[in-house]
Structure 1
């Protein structure tokens, strides 16, 4: 017996009520399968009814009306990274640069994304390119190089404002590199070398000036020390003069004559102490000076 013959015999043996029950059971099973939707954690489902938006199903078990509602779009809500893009831009000081950018985003409102924009990635790439050119056009090359963090923050803020109507959140925007053409690179290298030479010349000049200052300080210190020595010597001479003057004032002319006689005796002693043989001729006044000195020594109290 064939399958067709078996089915015909089976249906002919069944009553009409049994067939209706089977049809109802099959309808219930199909309704349950169509009405229960299990959405993964990383997705959101957009449900339409007769071609219009009905609901957005979140992760978990969801119920819809069988045969009326159907899941039209399954949208991933995971963070996405756009391919690295390069675009040319001209700074405010007329320097052509090539900027490599990368953007990360995720879909937060799937109903806006599926009904308001067709090519999400292409639209974001175009938006980022325009914003990058506009922002770099307001800055000089040195500012682009030194204020990259500020530039990235500004670009991300402007991109977020531009794509908000598409139900998209820009999580991160990066400027990976800023490249210059060969002529600009050579000009900047020459400028860098000139700046290094200027700094080296300034350093050498500062060293020479410092050496001159130190030499002048040394000479000044030596002069101060010499002046101090002369001042001490002058003070010593003044003190000796004061002592002699006091002795003359206290002891009269005899004390002065005594000091002169001592000087003469000392001078003659130094001459006589010389090496070799010499003849010392003394004037008669020197003999008298010796006598006067001995008289004074005898008469000087001990």
Structure 2
């Protein structure tokens, strides 16, 4: 009887130890939390926020604390959104946008907003309509970078209380209705025709300018030639005047006789000329010129 009692006591003690060991193991498993690098755990105690566990090994109080939410902190991309907007010049456009964000404060995201993606999409739609309504259609196309930056800044300011960070916003496309496209195409064709006319007119203008420059150059060259000829004639006259001053009347008669001889040579060289009639005074002048030539010789 004593032996049986001892066996029972021994078995009972082992069961208690076994249960205690199991309890310790369960407490360790429940109290030790290993958080992945890409996540954060939100811990609650009796339904209230207790702590936010970062990546690595963390410890919580077993059976009092529990991991209520596992939040991924990786960057997320919202589905592509399409919303209508009216520009400052009353043109209806459809804007296709995309937003990238990541959660940096999980406790705000969990306890302040229910559908974070839907809330961001609604906020982006309102901001896009507001910003596009301030500018004209041409500015929407040409200033897309500044428009994207304005949308990102306003969105980051409005979602700050939700514990998220807006990393990037994109305007993927701006679409127009059929009537607006047809009007813009007509305007584009008219602008092309105007540019062609301007180019043609500028070409004609340049041709006139070049022609005027050529005529001016020709006139300048002719004037230079006349000036050179006049200078030569003035020089010759000066030489004759100096000869007359030095030799008197004989030099003048000599020059006149040479001019007459040159004129007769020209007449004799003409076609169809067979007879030349000379006046008596011309023959006398030739004689005088020959006498002067003999005297000079």
Distance 1:203 1:272, change over 3 A: closer
CA distance in 1, matches of 2:269, 2:181: 89
CA shift for structure 1 position 197 = 1.1
Q: Secondary structure at the match of 2:165?
A: strand
Alignment match of 1:56 (pick from 52, 56, 59):
52
2:39 is matched with: 43
Number of residue pairs matched?
291
Q: Kindly indicate whether residue 261 of structure 2 is the aligned counterpart of residue 261 of structure 1.
A: no
Match of 2:179 among 183, 192, 205: 183
Distance 1:272 1:72, change over 3 A: closer
Post-superposition CA distance 1:20-68 (Å, at most 9, x none): 3222222211111111111111111111111101111111111110111
CA apart distance, 1:200: 1.1
Root-mean-square deviation (CA, aligned residues, Å) is 1.7
Moved more, 242-251 or 85-94: 242-251
Q: Indicate if the aligned counterparts of 2:41 and 2:52 stay in contact, CA closer than 8 A.
A: yes
Tell whether 2:93 aligns with 1:97: yes
SS in 2 for 1:88: strand
User: Greater shift after overlay, 262-271 or 88-97?
Assistant: 262-271
The verdict on how the C-alpha distance between 1:117 and 1:285 changes in structure 2, with shifts beyond 3 A counting, is same
Question: Normalization by structure 1: what TM-score?
Answer: 0.91
Tell me, which stretches of 5 or more residues in structure 2 are unaligned? 1-6
Q: Which residue of 2 aligns with 1:230?
A: 226
Q: How far apart are the structure 2 equivalents of 1:281 and 1:87?
A: 111
- Name which of 129, 136, 153 aligns with 1:133: 129
Relative to structure 1, is the Cα distance of residues 270 and 70 closer, same or farther in structure 2, using a 3 angstrom cutoff? closer
State the SS of the aligned residue for 1:78.
coil
C-alpha separation between the residues in 1 aligned to 2:53 and 2:265? 130
Alpha-carbon separation, structure 2, partners of 1:280 and 1:205: 64
- Residues 203/275 of structure 1: CA separation in 2 closer, same or farther (3 Å cut): closer
- Any stretches of 5+ residues in structure 1 without a counterpart? 1-10
Structure 1 residues 85-144: Cα deviation after superposition (integer angstroms, max 9, x where no partner): 100000111010000000111111111111111111100100111111111111111111
Once residues 126 and 78 of structure 1 are traced to their aligned partners in structure 2, the CA distance between those partners, rounded to angstroms, is: 22
Q: What are the residue-to-residue correspondences of 1:1-302 with 2, within 5 Å?
A: 14-272=10-268, 278-300=274-296, 302=297
TM-score computed with the length of structure 2 as normaliser: 0.93
User: CA 1:91–1:273 in 2, change beyond 3 Å: closer, same or farther?
Assistant: closer
Partner of 2:3: none
